[in-house]
Amino acid sequence: DVKVTQSSRYLVKRTGEKVFLECVQDMDHENMFWYRQDPGLGLRLIYFSYDVKMKEKGDIPEGYSVSREKKERFSLILESASTNQTSMYLCASSSGLSGVYGYTFGSGTRLTVV
């Protein structure tokens, strides 16, 4: 089975801290994605990557950055965490240029910024 592993299920951080959310997939997928999920707003794409060292902004990239040094790992970075970044963060991966084969999601990281 394809696995997408997110390093933490729950995380509590203080305002202003630098936060790293890690995501690792084990199926050699080219594409990786970071979403945040908030009640009433659905899934919103933060950043995505088609290949190592490549990254593209999604719909809400402000306040975030990403790193993809290796194909299997896609990290989301909150440079200076703020309370409005409290959310559920979901990582996903897919194969193929258009993601037409569907996404495999990680279990999510629920981040609380206090």
Partner 1 sequence: SQELEQSPQSLIVQEGKNLTINCTSSKTLYGLYWYKQKYGEGLIFLMMLQKGGEEKSHEKITAKLDEKKQQSSLHITASQPSHAGIYLCGADINAGKSTFGDGTTLTVKP
Which stretch, 12-20, 41-49, 60-68, 75-83, contacts partner 1 (CB under 8 A)?
41-49
60, 45 contact by CB (below 8 A)? yes
45 is an interface residue for partner 1 by CB under 8 A = yes
DSSP E strands, 7-106: 10-13, 19-21, 23-25, 31-38, 42-49, 56-57, 64-70, 73-78, 87-94, 104-105
99 is an interface residue for partner 1 by CB under 8 A = yes
93 is an interface residue for partner 1 by CB under 8 A = no
Which of the residues 2 through 31 are near partner 1 (CB under 8 A)?
4, 6, 31
Alpha-carbon distance 59 to 47, whole Å? 8
Which stretch, 12-20, 61-69, 72-80, 91-99, contacts partner 1 (CB under 8 A)?
91-99
